[in-house]
Homo-oligomer: A and B are copies of this chain.
Amino acid sequence: MNALPAHVDIREVGPRDGFQNEPETISTAAKIDLINRLARTGLRRIEVASFVRPDVIPQLSDGVEVLQGIDVPDDVSLMVLVPNSKGLDNALRIRETFSEVAIFVSASETHNKRNVNRTIAESMADNEIIAKRIVAEDLRCAAVIATSYGCPFEGTVPLRHTLDIAEQFAAAGAVEIGFGDTTGMANPAYVGEFFTAALERLPGVEVTAHFHNTRGQGLANAYAALQVGCTSFESSFGELGGCPVPAGSTGNIASEDLISMFHEMGVATGVDLDAVIDAARAAQTVLGRKLTSHSIIAGPIDWSPTADAPSCR
């Protein structure tokens, strides 16, 4: 077995992917406060907004106010998601407030059609133009491929097909490709195979893992990706968001659970786990409901010898 990577990068996606999926709209002030907290945990990558039609995703309609209102340290890189050229136009009006732009497509034809009402070819033709514009603006272009490990409509999605799309993105200027487990269909054996192939086929590109915890397998998938050399991960504080499908399921893996597992294995993240748990607890207070992350309850593991630890038989 190979040694594990010594260090990984984690992108916090809760402010976009998490808040988007909340049934109640979160106030702009609360969003700003939570992002400011996250930006002081050592997390150096945060996805904070998306420029989508407000009638489609009203939860994120205050993206401009959020981006203009937050105050984050200089070494924190902020990402926005754009679905099309119009979204990029809108984002570029506040060009100075972020440094990374994510564009996306689904690996599954049916899922792409349902999601954005276009074929993959149509989406990619547009994405190539958008990617070039992003690069020309001296912004970092990251691409996301949804349903990378399986599709709820089509079932199996061929690995080779997903990586073909990834190569198209890379050729158009994306320096990072994220592979999303949109409805939680990935398993660790396939993830090991997938990331081995992805890292081989995409030299010079940052290959990012984005898993969901739909059936409790999210961290097992993260471990499998790590084992074969993946060092870039996305997760969401409080286990917010992702794709709550089937209804009531959890989506994204929790940042604090992922960070806890990495730290326990001696894999550095640069993140203060306690601070992320505090931020997740603050989100819990804002949302007024119990979040499903495990570490939010259990806290970090305490390895110091102590006479009065809680235990049980």
The answer to whether the Cβ of A114 comes within 8 Å of any Cβ in the partner chain is yes
Q: Are A261 and B220 in contact (CB under 8 A)?
A: yes
Q: Are A188 and B153 in contact (CB under 8 A)?
A: no
The answer to whether the Cβ of A129 comes within 8 Å of any Cβ in the partner chain is no
Q: Are B215 and A301 in contact (CB under 8 A)?
A: yes
A42 to chain B, nearest CB (A): 18
Q: Are B215 and A213 in contact (CB under 8 A)?
A: no
The answer to whether the Cβ of A155 comes within 8 Å of any Cβ in the partner chain is yes
Residues of B within 8 A of A254 (CB): 216
Q: Are A257 and B217 in contact (CB under 8 A)?
A: yes
- Which residue of B190, B216, B253, B302 contacts A213 across the interface (Cβ within 8 Å)? B216
Since A182-B311, A189-B266, A246-B310 are in contact, a sample of 9 more A-B pairs with Cβ atoms closer than 8 Å, ordered by chain A residue number, is: A184-B298, A184-B301, A187-B261, A190-B264, A213-B294, A215-B261, A216-B257, A219-B220, A249-B294
A-B CB contact pairs (8 Å), 11 listed: A1-B1, A111-B311, A152-B302, A155-B304, A182-B312, A183-B312, A190-B265, A216-B216, A216-B254, A220-B222, A246-B298
